[in-house]
A and B are shown apart, each in its own frame.
Chain A
Amino acid sequence: MKINDVILRTISRIVVFIILTFGVYLFLSGHNTPGGGFIGGLVLASAIILLYLSTDLETVQKSLPLDFKYVAALGVFLATSTGFGSIIFGVPFMSQTFAYFDLPIFGVTELTTVTIFEAGVALTVVGVLVTIIFSISEDGG
């Protein structure tokens, strides 16, 4: 199934980057301001789905050779292991911590463990959503 729609393809090539940037922004701004892993993940996934819509499955798979089932599994593993990490450190399950670091380019930056958890959530959302869309479109032929 190849759609030959020049306008859609040209625009989506640009729009995908805007969506991806916005997704990353939402993801990073989470846990203190509106945003977070779930919403960020949804937006990231919508960029990938837009790519699927504007080109076709094979092209996207060639440029993104990932099995999204594994992406989802990796996400769950990342999220749960941050919870498990707090067991190793002897604090209550799912405890989080943060600290300020002086990084070369970013200056003084707040690094939190909750970001790792959110990254897990985001990966899970992306993985699950793309897998769902993918299997539906495969069935439809």
Chain B
Amino acid sequence: MNNLIVLPLILPIMVGVVLVFLRPYIKLQRVFSLLTLIVTAGISLLLLNIVRTDGIIRLDFGGWEPPFGILFVADSFAMLLVLTASIVTAICLIYAFSSIGERHEKMYFYPFVLFLVAGVNGSFLTGDLFNLFVCFEVMLLASYVLVTLGGTKRQLREAIKYVVINILASWFFLVALAYLYGTVGTLNMAHISERVAEAGQGPLLTTISILFLIVFSLKAGLLLFFWLPGSYSVPPTAIAALFGALLTKVGIYALFRSFTLIFYHDTLISHTLIGIMAAITLIVGCMGAIAFKDVRLIVSYNVVIAVGFILIGLAVGTETSIAGSIYYVIHDMIAKAMLFLLAGTMIYLTGKSKIDEMSGLIRNYPLFGWMFFLVTCSLAGIPPLSGFVGKILVGQGAIESGSYILLALAFLSSIVVLYSLLRIFLNTIFGETIISLEDEKPMKMGMIIPIVLLGIAMISLGLGAEFISDYVTDAAHTLANPSVYIDAVMGGNK
């Protein structure tokens, strides 16, 4: 028992609720929400180290032991994601302070960001499949509000698609849960895994696993991403950055968890299917990233490409490739937040969103320009930046298992990412400047500081890969060997 595990969920919720009462005091709201996220990040760092020394820890709610109660399980994979999510959200909040505007701040912007984080953290930490559904809903409800907040016509149009598709996915989730519960009679993930292993993964369980695959793919934007570019490009920059960084990652986490812990017996069907879906996602995502001229759309399609890339690690399914995916998820959370912030800032500075309408920003804002170059290099996987380690490990895993087609697609997609971002870079950052010195909007410190912070995080993640490799190896080991997780949950009280 360690009550610390629940704090990343309960702390944001409680502070969020208190902030509802502090509606008129915007300064206070800012301080409280930022402090909460910093404390959450601190707690998750602490937990990460506890997990490293003591192994996986769990917390049975109300003292009801598994498989009867609901529980939170902290393993390295979950804690790494909680830590990254808290840090990235904190930085996005700093950006929001100077950009979101008083109207949003007075309409409960900060409480909903905290609820969103609570849902995300809860999804990472829970060890119960139905609880995962609940945490998904907490996150989604907060995201519905955040995507519509402001109420412009474009936002409402995209929000309707977003809400409908997610409600449909949630319904599928519920149906899949009912099927699974009807088949194995339990909802505790470790217990399900045991039961599935005992019964053998027959055709029925494989069908259920494919239902889960569809649900989580809808959330993660794996193949079924048609809703994603639209709804991620309409909200204000800080919110879009949060979405791009966090929301798809929760779906990815759920895919990894369920297909390494529960449905890992019949890899011929499910993992092949994931591989095919990831491949198509990469190809279509690449087309999207090249086809459009709107910065926001290009950036959104880059999210899609990353999802495909990360899921290749799961489709290949070796310990090396899973470790690569974990590295890449962490990197991608930071990099996508930064990319969305950069794109939003670009639109704020120029007032235009098409890449052929802007030019020469580097003369006006040199630091901004080089930050864009940094994130481009990092996403393309140029060493020593953060994307490199993940790409190399996924590649290594693919070679080990002989999945050469996926390997080729993964690395071709890196080139397309590089091309699509360099196209933005060359068109908007380089070239003749269109903004004369008099018309130049001053860059707000509150905008450039979070971007630089993310840049620093990205460089240190790349250079410090050795430092976090302990945690990542442990996380990949747990995912590749389900018995570690099951023993920690089912093996008596600690």
Interface residues of A (CB under 8 A from B): 69-70, 73, 76-77, 80-81, 83-84, 86-87, 90-96
A22–B432 Cα distance when bound, in Å, is 75
**Are B62 and A95 neighbours in the complex by a CB distance under 8 Å?**
yes
Q: Flag whether B10 is at the interface (Cβ < 8 A).
A: yes
**Are B14 and A69 neighbours in the complex by a CB distance under 8 Å?**
no
Partner of A93, one of B13, B17, B20, B59: B59
In the complex formed, the residue of B with least CB distance to A88 is: B3
Give the dominant DSSP class at B's interface.
helix
A96–B14 Cα distance when bound, in Å, is 19
Q: Flag whether B25 is at the interface (Cβ < 8 A).
A: no
Partner of A81, one of B1, B14, B60: B14
Question: Which of chain B's residues 7-31 have a Cβ closer than 8 Å to chain A?
Answer: 7, 10, 13-14, 17-18, 20-21
Q: In the complex, how many residues of chain B place their beta carbon closer than 8 angstroms to a beta carbon of chain A?
A: 16
A92–B14 Cα distance when bound, in Å, is 18
Partner of B17, one of A80, A83, A95: A80
**Are A70 and B61 neighbours in the complex by a CB distance under 8 Å?**
no
**Are B10 and A83 neighbours in the complex by a CB distance under 8 Å?**
yes
Chain B residues with CB under 8 A of A94: 61-62
In the complex formed, the residue of B with least CB distance to A96 is: B62
**Are B13 and A95 neighbours in the complex by a CB distance under 8 Å?**
no
Partner of A73, one of B6, B7, B20: B20
Give the 4 A-B CB pairs with smallest separation, nearest first.
Answer: A73-B20, A94-B61, A94-B62, A87-B3
Q: Flag whether B63 is at the interface (Cβ < 8 A).
A: yes
Partner of B18, one of A69, A77, A90, A91: A77
**Are B14 and A84 neighbours in the complex by a CB distance under 8 Å?**
yes
Question: Which of chain B's residues 418-437 have a Cβ closer than 8 Å to chain A?
Answer: none
**Are B20 and A91 neighbours in the complex by a CB distance under 8 Å?**
no
A66–B59 Cα distance when bound, in Å, is 38
A87 touching B6 in the complex, CB below 8 Å, given contacts A92-B62, A93-B59, A96-B62: yes
**Are A73 and B21 neighbours in the complex by a CB distance under 8 Å?**
yes
Chain A residues with CB under 8 A of B59: 92-93
Chain B residues with CB under 8 A of A86: 3, 62
A92–B494 Cα distance when bound, in Å, is 12
Minimum Cβ distance to chain B for residue A132 (Å): 13
Mark each residue of chain B from 273 to 315: 1 if its CB lies under 8 Å from any CB of chain A, else 0.
0000000000000000000000000000000000000000000
**Are B10 and A91 neighbours in the complex by a CB distance under 8 Å?**
no
